[in-house]
Structure 1
Amino acid sequence: MDGDVENAPLTDEQVSDQWKRLADLINKLQARTDTKDEFNARPGSSLTGDDAWSPPFHVSHAVNACIVAGADHLHACKTLVVDAHSLHVAAPASLIRGSLENMAAAFWMLHPTSRAERVTRCLRWQMVNAKNARRALAPLDLKDPASYDERIATILEVAQRHPEIDIAAVKRGFTSTAAVTYADEHSGAALGVLLPWQLCSGFAHGFTWANLAFSERVEIPTADPDVFSVRFSTDLTRALYLVWAATNLTESVLKLHAQRSTPQY
C-alpha cells in the first residue's frame, strides 16, 4: 500500500489500475483479519510486555479490535464500489470514515515509544468504551447497571498499578479527532489523515460543505432566480482518493504493529 501519488491527474486507465491494486490489497488484509492469531503479540515483544502491565485490558486486544474494525469498513467500501459496481456519493465516505477512525486509534495506541504511554492510551480507549456502553445499554436493563461502573473502576485500578500511568488522562478518555490528528502528524501517510477524515465526516453527517468541496455538481435553475437545485455526483477518481488515504494509513499501522508484536533480539 505505497503512498506514491502522481502530481498530474490520473488517467481513467490509471484510476482503474489503482482500484484493482487496492482491491487486491484490501482482500488480503481482510483474509488476515479472518485468520486466527494473525495479529497476536509474540512472547518477548513490546506488546506482550504492555499486556503484562494492563490485564484484563490488554493493549494488543484493543489495537486488534481497531484493526479488525478498520479493515472491515475498508473491505465493505471495496465490495460496494468494485464488486457491486455501485458508486454512491456519501456511502463510501461514511465507510472510509470508519476505517480512518479505527486505524488512527490503533496507530495512536501503538506509536509511543514509552510503555507507560501506550498503556495509558489503551486505558483511555477502554474508558470511552466503558462509558459508551453504560450510556447506550444501561437504560435497556440488560444487566446490573452497577456493573458498568465496576468496569470503569477496574480500569482506574489498573491505571494505579504503575506510577508512570497518567490517571488524569485515563479519566478523560480520548476522542477520534485527537487520534486522527495524531496519526496525521506522525504516520507519514502520503495523502494525509485529517483532511480525508474531515471530508468523510462531512459526507457522513450530510453537511453540504463536503459535497460543495468534493463532489461533481450540476446546478439546475428553478422558478426562483435566487435559488438553484443542485445535483451532486461522484466518480471513481474521487472515491479512490479516500480509499487510497485509508490504505496508506493502514500500511503505517500494520508496519508499526509488526514492530511492536515481534521480539527485538
Structure 2
Amino acid sequence: MATEETAVHSEAWEQFGAWLADVQNLSQDTHAYPLAPESLLAGDELDIPKGPGPAAVVRTLLDASVDNLGAAFSLAQAGRLSPVGIPTLVRGTIELSGLGMWVLTGTERAGRQERALRVGHDSLINAYKFFKERSELPGFSTENKKAAAASAAEHKDSAAALGEAAAKAGLKRTRVTAKLNRTEALQEVDKARGSDFFSLWQLCSGFAHGLAWAPSLFHLPVGTHTMEGGGIITASTFHEERALMMFLWGKHAIEELRGTFAAGRSATGGPETTLVSMPREKMEVEARAKGIQINYQFTFPPPRQPESSTFYMAQPNNPKG
C-alpha cells in the first residue's frame, strides 16, 4: 500500500479540527462532564461495590476515544495519510465509544453498574494474564519472575473480590465476572440504536490486523508491483476524501457517546430508570407498548452529530424509588 503524502486543508477538515480541539480540551479538563445532583449517573454511584462506577468508566472510555482520534489526526496534519495507522486508531475510537454506549444503556441502575464493573473486572483479568505470562518467561531472572507472579496473584485476587462485592451489593455476580465480549457489546448497541458501530469497527479491524480485504475495499488501487525474485504486491492509496470519511466515523462515535453521557449526567430518575438510545420513532412505539412515559431532558443539550441522532430517557409511569 502507498501512503498519500499531502497536507490536508479544506473547510471540512478545518471544521473537524476545530471540533476535535474542543473535545480534546474537555478530555484534559478534570472538571469536565460533571454529574448533576440527583442525576441517573450520580445515583449509580450510591451503594456501588468496590470498583469503578458507570460515570468513571464512561469518562475513561471517552477520553481514550478522543485520544485515539487525536493521534490519527496528527498524522493527517503532518501531511501523512497513513493507510494503516489511521484506520487502526479510528478503530480504537469506535470500539471504546461503542463500549461506553453499552455501559450507559444497561437495564436500570443495576444493569449500568454491572456493565461498568464487568469492564473493571475484565481489566483485572487481563492484567492477571499479562503478569502470569511474564512470570513464566524463560528469559526472565528469578527475581523478575517472582515479582510478576506476585502481581498476577494480586490482580487475580482483586478480580475475585470484585465479584464477591458485587454479589453482596445485590448485583448478579455472573454479569460482572463474565468474559467481556466487545463484539457482542457493539452489536447490542447497534440493535437498539440503529447504528453501525460494529460494521465500521470490523472494517477498521481489517486494517489493524493486516488483512487484505479491508484496503482492497476502502483504498483506491493504483497498480501492482512485482518484487525482485517474485511475488506481486497490489499498490493502493488512501485519498483525502476517504480519510475524512473515516475521521467522521470516529467523530460520530464520540458524539453518540457524549450525547448519551450528557443525558445520564442530567436526567433524573429512580433505580428502575433505564437510558434508552434508539431512533425516535422506534423508541416511542416501544415505549407506548410497554406503558413507559418519555421525559425529554434539556438541562444539558446533547452535542450530537449528525442532528438526526436522538437520545431519550425513559422510565415507568410510576417508578419506585
Normalization by structure 1: what TM-score?
0.84
Query: What are structure 2's unaligned runs of at least 5 residues?
Result: 1-8, 136-143, 270-321
Higher gyration radius (CA): 2
Q: Within 2, Cα distance between the matches of 1:130 and 1:180?
A: 21
What CA deviation, in whole Å up to 9, does each residue of 1:236-261 have, x standing for no partner? 11112221112112111111111111
Q: Structure 1 residues 40, 151: CA separation in 2 closer, same or farther (over 3 Å shift)?
A: farther
Shift of 1:16: 3.1
Query: What are structure 1's unaligned runs of at least 5 residues?
Result: 1-14
Which structure has more relative contact order (CA 8 Å, sep 6+)? It is 1
Structure 1 segments of 4+ aligned residues over 6 angstroms from their partners: none
Question: SS in structure 2 opposite 1:146?
Answer: helix
Q: What one-letter code is carried by the residue in structure 2 that aligns with 1:66?
A: L
Aligned partner of 1:18 among 7, 12, 22: 12
1:168 corresponding residue in structure 2: 174
Question: SS in structure 2 opposite 1:201?
Answer: helix
- What does 1:246-261 correspond to in 2, within 5 Å? 246-261=250-265
Question: SS in structure 1 opposite 2:234?
Answer: strand
Q: Structure 1 residues 105, 17: CA separation in 2 closer, same or farther (over 3 Å shift)?
A: same
Identity of aligned residues (%): 25
Shift of 1:162: 3.8
Aligned partner of 1:205 among 192, 209, 214: 209
Structure richer in helix, relative to its length: 1
Question: SS in structure 1 opposite 2:222?
Answer: strand
Indicate conservation of the 8 Å contact 1:184/1:194, yes or no. Answer: yes
2:78 corresponding residue in structure 1: 84
What CA deviation, in whole Å up to 9, does each residue of 1:30-72 have, x standing for no partner? 0001112212323311112112232432221111110110010
What CA deviation, in whole Å up to 9, does each residue of 1:88-123 have, x standing for no partner? 111100100111111111110012351111111111
Indicate conservation of the 8 Å contact 2:131/2:151, yes or no. Answer: no
Q: Structure 1 residues 40, 221: CA separation in 2 closer, same or farther (over 3 Å shift)?
A: closer
Normalization by structure 2: what TM-score?
0.70
Q: Within 2, Cα distance between the matches of 1:257 and 1:92?
A: 26
2:61 corresponding residue in structure 1: 66
Q: Within 2, Cα distance between the matches of 1:53 and 1:247?
A: 34
Shift of 1:207: 0.3
Aligned partner of 1:44 among 38, 43, 47: 38
Q: Structure 1 residues 242, 183: CA separation in 2 closer, same or farther (over 3 Å shift)?
A: farther
Q: Within 2, Cα distance between the matches of 1:206 and 1:84?
A: 23
Q: What one-letter code is carried by the residue in structure 2 that aligns with 1:158?
A: A
2:128 corresponding residue in structure 1: 134
Structure richer in strand, relative to its length: 2
Aligned partner of 1:31 among 25, 36, 39: 25
- What does 1:102-181 correspond to in 2, within 5 Å? 102-138=96-132, 139=135, 141-142=147-148, 143-163=150-170, 165-181=171-187
1:185 corresponding residue in structure 2: 191
**Cα RMSD between the aligned structures?**
2.3
Indicate conservation of the 8 Å contact 2:130/2:152, yes or no. Answer: no
What CA deviation, in whole Å up to 9, does each residue of 1:188-226 have, x standing for no partner? 54xx22222111100001000111111111333649xx9
Q: What one-letter code is carried by the residue in structure 2 that aligns with 1:133?
A: A
Shift of 1:180: 2.0
